[in-house]
Amino acid sequence: MHQTPSQTRSAPPPTTRVVPPSATTRHLCAGALTDRVYRKQILDTVYHSPERAVAPNHGADGARVLAHAKAAHGLEVARHAVAAAILGCMALTVLNTAVPPGFLLALVVWGLIGLAVHSAVDHDLFGGIGPIPLLVAAGAFAALFFVGPVLQAVQSAGTSSGFGSTTTAETPSSTAGATLMVLWLIALAVANTSFDVMRAKRINALADNEDRPLSDARIDEVRRVQSSNEVVNYSPYRHPFVGAGKRIATWQFAMPLRPDGAPSEEDWPSFDTAALNAHIRGAVAELAADRGHSRHLPGLELSDQVYISGADTTFPAHTLGDLTRMRLPDTFGGVQADPTGPIRHFLRCQAVSWDGELVTTIFIHTAIQGQTLYMEFHSFSLPPTKEEYHIFGRGSIDSDTRVGIAAATGLTGVPLAIVAAPIGAAKAAIAAIRNRHSAAGRGSDDSGALASIRELGSDAKPHHYFQSRDSVKYTEILEAQLLESVKGFLRGRVDLQQLDGFAQTIVNNGIVNYGQVNAGAVGKGATAVVGAVGNNARGSAAK
């Protein structure tokens, strides 16, 4: 029986790295400032979930995006709090002074103008509040203008009909009520406009790469852990490659290890998966530079990573040192030596193109078991950031225009802010209490990451035809080069006949249909072969 050599430790990657600035990061920051849904997603999934690991943010600085989301959320809460306070003062004024009925009509007209303006510029003032709560709040506010005079009349009647009363009850001055209401509306208009202008200036600073969002302990922690490529601690509720985007393909092969030539003890291929992994990494790394007439692969990055489920960790793991503290295998070689445990090693080969907007990744796992070399390949593509986040560059508005639009939306949105204020303030208070209690004692059997900041901001499909083709191109190039490097390493050590067959099948004929596909062949001797797998799958061939 041949003996498999013991695994050796491959060289670990750098433990820290600086995330370079990219268009992707700026787009995601813009999304954090303008898209309330995205902002809430990343705050809930990452910022307010310290008990979960932070997923990799390929091609983007997640900490910077998170800082902008936190700042934008603070502005939103402050807007609702100030508006709610002024609304309370207005309610007291309406209930205790004579406010002319024309005020309500003026606010209705003002609100309709605000709706038109906000719809024209696609501005979300209501912060995701549903129409029914808004109608209830608007009805309650309008009712104050009818309840106020009734209460004042009852109070006046009670005062004038008192026993022995010889004085006439004083009627609240309509002038005083109108004056106070005007003052409250001016204060709210100034506050509402200021908040919109502040947000516009933040976007302008982002466009000029002069943004300096405030950080805190949690954001600093995210910045620290995202600099590590060693451990991916994923949630068992999703696939291990969290943050990598959409799966393109998964394929694998198992090759019995037969010596190349006469079988003997001396001919046993004296290699292990760590050595094979190191060879693949070195060979593929050469593709990062131009070679004669061949252009390099953009943003090529390779790293050894270990993947472990959040159900198998007691706290979020991001580094090999975290695994040491949990008494788990804490070296790449140690993990590779035991491909039967809950921790698996993968070599990550990643190409980042289109200024970070397109990320193509292949994950490779190797194992030697049962006198057999097993290799597993997973290819993923991370689509561009959402198109509505691309508010810079060609076709975008200039800084002064953006500030002017913000001033217009803030001024015309005063009545809308009155309606949304109590609901927004209440929701913010409830969320703050929930997050505080969660941080104080949230127990969970899962410490893995659910989603990445970059992934949550991705669009459903590429924005450009050649982005989709580049994703396929880089996948095919990496697959071909990976297989070639494997063959180069094994040549002279084992019989490559079976591997040559695998490579030809994977690269040239590896088309598996899980839906419907048609193939046609034209010309003398031409043939077309299609395989169909899965429910309702069909394959047709023409000659």
What pLDDT is stored for residue 72 in this prediction?
93
525 assigned to some structural domain: yes
User: In this structure, are 498 and 350 located in the same domain?
Assistant: yes
pLDDT (tens digit, 9 = 90+) per residue, 447-475?
Answer: 999 999 999 999 988 888 898 899 889 98
User: In this structure, are 351 and 498 located in the same domain?
Assistant: yes
What pLDDT is stored for residue 514 in this prediction?
39
417 assigned to some structural domain: no
What pLDDT is stored for residue 57 in this prediction?
93
51 assigned to some structural domain: no
Q: Which amino acid is at 72?
A: A
305 assigned to some structural domain: yes
What pLDDT is stored for residue 337 in this prediction?
87
User: In this structure, are 533 and 506 located in the same domain?
Assistant: no
Distance separating alpha carbons of residues 82 and 407, to the nearest angstrom:
17
- The values of phi and psi at residue 362, to 5°, are -120, 130
Listed as ranges, residues in the chain with pLDDT below 70 are: 1-21, 122-128, 158-174, 260-269, 438-443, 502-543
Distance separating alpha carbons of residues 484 and 284, to the nearest angstrom:
10
The DSSP-derived string for 352-417 is: EETTTTEEEEEEEEEEEETTEEEEEEEEEEEPPBPGGG--SSTTPPPHHHHHHHHHHHHHHTHHHH
Distances (CA, A) of 113 to 182, 409, 413, 516: 18, 10, 8, 52
User: In this structure, are 372 and 520 located in the same domain?
Assistant: no
Q: Which domain holds residue 337?
A: 229-387+459-510
User: In this structure, are 465 and 527 located in the same domain?
Assistant: no
Task: Specify the 3-state DSSP secondary structure of 171.
Answer: coil
235 assigned to some structural domain: yes
Task: Specify the 3-state DSSP secondary structure of 226.
Answer: coil
Predicted TM-score (pTM) of the model is: 0.80
What pLDDT is stored for residue 435 in this prediction?
80
What pLDDT is stored for residue 16 in this prediction?
43
User: In this structure, are 324 and 472 located in the same domain?
Assistant: yes
What pLDDT is stored for residue 9 in this prediction?
42
Give per-residue burial for 133-170: e unless 16+ CB within 10 Å, then b. beeebbeebeebbeebeeebeeeeeeeeeeeeeeeebe
User: In this structure, are 380 and 515 located in the same domain?
Assistant: no
29 assigned to some structural domain: no
Residue 15 DSSP symbol: S
User: In this structure, are 492 and 532 located in the same domain?
Assistant: no
Burial of 177 (0-12, 13-18, 19+ CB in 10 A): buried
Task: Specify the 3-state DSSP secondary structure of 296.
Answer: coil
Helix ranges (DSSP H) in 51-172: 62-96, 102-120, 131-160
What pLDDT is stored for residue 538 in this prediction?
43
- Category of 523 on φ-ψ map: left (φ > 0), alpha (ψ -120 to 50) or beta: left
Burial of 262 (0-12, 13-18, 19+ CB in 10 A): exposed
- The values of phi and psi at residue 175, to 5°, are -65, -45
What pLDDT is stored for residue 101 in this prediction?
78
User: In this structure, are 308 and 287 located in the same domain?
Assistant: yes
Look up residue 45 and give its two tokens: 């999934």
Contacts 24+ apart (CB under 8 A), 363-371: 363/241, 363/244, 364/277, 364/280, 364/482, 365/339, 366/273, 366/276, 366/277, 366/336, 367/273, 367/336, 367/339, 368/4, 368/257, 368/272, 368/273, 369/339, 369/340, 371/2, 371/4, 371/256, 371/257
User: In this structure, are 380 and 239 located in the same domain?
Assistant: yes
Q: In sequence order, what are the beta bridge partners of 255?
A: 373
Domain total in the chain: 2
What pLDDT is stored for residue 71 in this prediction?
94
What pLDDT is stored for residue 441 in this prediction?
52
What pLDDT is stored for residue 265 in this prediction?
56
Residue 254 DSSP symbol: E
Maximal CA-CA distance, the chain? 126
| 230 and 12 Cβ atoms separated by less than 8 Å | yes
Q: Which amino acid is at 55?
A: A
Signed CA dihedral, 177, 183, 188, 189: sign only: positive
User: In this structure, are 506 and 536 located in the same domain?
Assistant: no
481 assigned to some structural domain: yes
pLDDT (tens digit, 9 = 90+) per residue, 285-315?
Answer: 988 888 777 888 898 999 999 999 999 999 9
64 assigned to some structural domain: no
Task: Specify the 3-state DSSP secondary structure of 57.
Answer: coil
User: In this structure, are 464 and 542 located in the same domain?
Assistant: no
What pLDDT is stored for residue 543 in this prediction?
42
